[in-house]
Structure 1
Amino acid sequence: MTDTTGTPLLSLDDIHFTYPGTTAPVLRGATLHLAQGDRLGLLGHNGSGKTTLLHIAMGLLRPESGTVHHRNAVAHDEASLAALRRDIGFLFQNADDQLFCPTVLEDVAFGPLNLGLSPEQARERATQTLQGLGLEGFGARVTHRLSGGEKKMVALASVLSMQPTALLLDEPTNDLDPATRQRLIDVLNRMSATHIIISHDWDFLARTCTTFLTVDDGIVRTSRHTPHVHTHIHHGGEVAHEHPSRGCCHQHDGSHHHAGHDDDHPHTSQTTE
């Protein structure tokens, strides 16, 4: 999306990319704009180019053609990419790609130290960031001994400790248990963060994003499917709970069927579209 009242934070225009050793392009003229306040959900099948697009945005891959702009300046050399990375935080799909220090506190304080904070200031910011994510007491823990979900949240803490203007999150719910996943939803909504989120978790996207785009055939399209969530009570009096919908699978006659349930059941809709 482009903010008509100002310059987009990030613009990728007419991006083409083919991985070395392959002949089929992954991206064929993809265009994506992120403006202040945008909360974009990026959808697409595995291998469609979603992660590739964000890696190009962060300067981790170089496009064959097309341009990346950060605040209206072309991001192409180390200085301009460094400015982009200070402004826009990136969460890798695999937390092990992001964590490399012996302890959690060192990992989370690493970015603030590189921003020029003193060791004491960096530790204080890291501690506050961990607390904000519900990770009190994690500072002294050995990073490589954490569970997958714990590593994911620590990796997010290492991004948030740099206080970026916007976030690019690649499959942030991978390895999270339900309680931690809900905590992440609460954190993102409390922050009202400008972000792009890649996820196959429709319910998560419905709760954290307002606009949905699809990478398909190498380009970015406005998604035809708008995730929304609703609550219902099963026959037998189970506790009311929620499910995501993919926009095209509903019948609003008082009942419908979900994958993972053997029966149709009535529901009340609470739609987020």
Structure 2
Amino acid sequence: MTPAVELDDIRLDRDGRRVLDGARLRLLPGERIALSGANGAGKTTLLRVIAGLTRPDSGAVRLDGRPCRTEADFRPARLGIGFLFQESDDQLFCPTVVEDVAFGPLNQGLSYPDARARAEAMLAELGLSTLAERPPHHLSGGEKRLVCLAGLLVMEPRMLLLDEPTNGLDDAAERLLVARLDAFAGAMIVVTHDPALPDRLGARPLRLDGGCIAEG
């Protein structure tokens, strides 16, 4: 089976500090990995390397078996990746919630009526229909998190990269988010400080320490 993600000997320096130092990772289609590590260990940077948003100084990135080195390599692969940023405000920019969720399907080529219908259906699935016409910057932190997730899932990605997905959620919203993630059939990498989340998602625990990835 061709891995969804392969990282081989990834090295990256930032501000004179080695952030990733020979990091290696192999993620199969449908597999789930939960990545932990200290603050500043490079977990977010690793997700950005996988998505092609940050380029390593050396090492190889392969997505679905294809080497990815340039933006032209990453662009088609990125269409199948849903990336949940750590800060929700970095991901919400449209006047209303439903427009934010419809933005991805519009970029996939759907007509506006079809994109909006798909967005409304996803909001309903996550219990967010009452937020559809609200400005995203008026939402609570937990509501923003769920709207960002809706914006990813509505695009039907093959893989999710999730940076601290449960941050800012109350218990009810967290249960809803975890249940929806657990139903996701694609590959998944979750960065988390929550020690219970790997078991809840059936994810293999790994730890990033000293720029390297080890069993967690």
TM-score range, shorter chain: over 0.9
Q: What is the correspondence of 1:192-211 to structure 2 with a 5 Å cutoff? A: 192-211=185-204
Unaligned regions of 5+ residues in structure 1, if any?
Answer: 1-5, 224-273
TM-score norm. by structure 2 comes to: 0.96
Q: Corresponding residue for 1:233?
A: none
For residue 157 of structure 1, give the secondary structure of its aligned residue in structure 2: helix
| Residue 30 of structure 1: aligned partner | 23
1:185 is aligned to 2:178:
yes
Cα distance between partner residues in 1 of 2:35 and 2:17? 22
Residues 41 and 209 in structure 1, CA contact (< 8 A), matched pair in contact too: no
Which protein shows a greater Rg?
Answer: 1
Give the secondary-structure state (helix, strand or coil) at the position aligned to 2:129: coil
Match of 1:66 among 59, 71, 79: 59
Query: Take 1:173 and 1:108, find their aligned partners in 2: how far apart are those partners?
Result: 19
Letter in 1 for 2:5: L
Cα distance in 2, alignment partners of residues 167 and 11 from structure 1:
15
- Tell me the SS of whatever aligns to 1:202: coil
1:129 and 1:83 mapped to 2: Cα distance?
A: 24
1:222 alignment partner in structure 2 = 215
Shift of 1:90: 0.6
Corresponding residue of 1:240: none
The one-letter amino acid paired with 1:143 is P
Structure 1 Cα separation of the partners of residues 192 and 66 of structure 2: 29
**Counterpart position of 1:155:** 148
1:12 paired with 2:10, answer no
The alignment partner of 1:206 has SS state of helix
Letter paired with 1:212 = P
SS at match of 2:121: helix
Provide the aligned length of Structure 1 versus Structure 2: 216
2:21 alignment partner, SS class: strand
| Residue-by-residue CA offset, 1:214-252 (whole Å, 9 max, x unaligned) | 0011011111xxxxxxxxxxxxxxxxxxxxxxxxxxxxx
Instruction: Report the CA distance between 1:163 and its aligned residue.
Output: 0.5
How much has 1:128 moved relative to structure 2? 1.2
Deviation at 1:32, TM superposition (A): 1.1
C-alpha distance in 1, partners of 2:16/2:75? 31
Alignment of 1:1-273 (within 5 A): 6-19=1-14, 22-223=15-216
Provide the C-alpha distance between the structure 1 equivalents of 2:64 and 2:186, rounded to a whole number of angstroms. Answer: 17
SS of 2:199's partner is helix
Which contiguous aligned blocks of 4+ residues in structure 1 show a shift greater than 6 angstroms? none
Q: Deviations for 1:52-95, whole angstroms, at most 9, x for unmatched residues?
A: 10011111111000111111111222332121211111100000
Conserved 8 A contact 2:198-2:204: no
Higher relative contact order (CA 8 A, sep 6+): 2
Cα contact 1:13–1:32 (8 A) shared by 2: yes
Supply the RMSD in Å over aligned alpha carbons. Answer: 1.1
For residue 74 of structure 1, what is the amino acid of its counterpart?
P
Secondary structure, counterpart of 1:18 in structure 2: strand
- Contact kept in structure 2, 1:15 and 1:63, CA below 8 Å: yes
Q: Which has the higher helix share?
A: 2
**Offset of 1:193 from its aligned partner?**
4.1
The TM-score normalised by the length of structure 1 is: 0.77
SS at match of 1:162: coil
